Amino acid sequence: MNTAAIPARNSSRRELQPASRRHSRRGANPLPSSSWPIPSPGLSPLSASSTRTIRTVELQLADSPLRSTSDYTPTPRDMAMLMALDSYRYLDRGQLQALFFSGSRSCQYRLRWLVGHGLVHTWRVVMRPGRVCRFSIYLLSRRGAVALAEWLDEDPRPYLRRAEHALERRFHLVHQLEANQFFVDLAFAARELPGHGLYHWVGEHGVQDAYAEGDERGPIPDGWGRLLAPDREVLIHLEWDRGTEQPRRLRAKLHAYTSYFSDRAGASANQVLFVAPTEQRERQIGGLLPDHVDTDRETCRLWTTTTAFIAAAGPLGAVWAGNGSGRRVSVLDMAGLPRSDRHVEDAVGKPAWWLRRPGGGGGS
């Protein structure tokens, strides 16, 4: 699987069209705001609590009327943010600020501009009981999808499908936000270390495109990343577990990883990271690992941790247990590929990184 770049699509240019809220799929909630109970320790930042409480998340669509397009001048950073929303479906204001801004005021101003021009949708978030306000959540609009496709000189139809799907099929919104938060935290932690950086961050559809480009079928993680260190490049496959999958499905997922990477060159540089919501769930996943580990063959490596460990020590801390071992290690201690000529200064989250990475976090 070549995940170094998102494969190109057939190019096509279209005029910008006004944003639409029309729901075209059966089963979608047609209301501009909605609420439903979900088991969640929080949205962003990650919570250190290992107890799961039932909260109701209220989403209120907060789009502003479209302004005149006479001053419609998106910046490279604007397009990079649209590209990130296309790749990762949902990002909240804290995540966008960490990736693209040095302060909250400039972040809020630019996001209001994007909302005002209909390029993104925004949901205001309130969690009950207690009316706990969270960062607003942003996602790509139809207008933003067309603008992004035009900027990339690609067919807008896949972008439109993904934007509509994110708006209408938001059943896994919290799961997606939590998985995205891991990569945002990883990028933020790595950029503070000399010689380190999260060079690649690829979302689910980017991984699927990479498999299709190679005419392959393989396991689809919640996100894929390439972490640069001074002497190696660690390949990360994130599995953000919310405790809902049955053991049968977990076994199938583990088998998919180990069978795909079995006897492939450099397979041991691929680190599959399972993040569990509780210690009990981590033990359950860890108990399945020995059945899928063959020390006599080259394959990927399997690791587990909990959200509480990550919240306490950070994503680069010694939080990962492998193959039932009681000893925990850091991602920086894991095997990787030999260091390439990729520039760590261009890693995701570095100052003005998007200017040097026009393909976004999934580009070369």
Q: What is the pLDDT of residues 25-68, one digit of tens each?
A: 333 333 444 443 333 333 444 433 333 444 566 676 776 555 55
The whole-angstrom separation of Cα 94 and Cα 208 is 27
- Taking only Cα atoms into account, the Rg of the chain, rounded to an integer number of angstroms, comes to 20
CA–CA distance, 42 with 56 (Å, rounded to integer): 11
Question: Tens digits of per-residue pLDDT, 261-313?
Answer: 998 999 999 999 999 999 999 999 999 998 888 777 889 999 999 999 999 99
Give the pLDDT confidence of 66-80 residue by residue, as tens digits.
Answer: 555 556 788 999 999
C-alpha span between 1 and 358 (Å, rounded): 21
Q: Whats the size of the chain, residue-wise?
A: 364
pLDDT tens for 279-291 read 999 999 999 998 8
**Tokens found for residue 118:** 């209909």
Q: What are phi and psi of 274, to 5 degrees?
A: -95, 120
Give the separation between CA 98 and CA 104, rounded to whole angstroms.
9
- Cβ-count burial 16-39 (b if 16+ within 10 Å, e if not): beebeeeeeeeeeeeeeeeeeebe
Which CATH number does the domain 33-177 belong to among 1.10.15.40, 1.10.10.10, 3.30.1240.10, 3.90.420.10? 1.10.10.10
Q: What is the mean pLDDT of residues 201-229?
A: 93
CA angle 132, 122, 225 (to 5 degrees): 90
Residue 300's region, left for phi above 0, alpha for psi from -120 to 50, else beta, is beta
The DSSP secondary structure of 34-62, one letter per residue, reads EEEEEE-S-SSS--------EEEEEEEE-
* Out of 120-134, 153-167, 213-227, least confident range: 120-134
Break the chain into its structural domains and give their ranges.
33-177, 179-346
Q: Is the pTM of this model over 0.85?
A: no
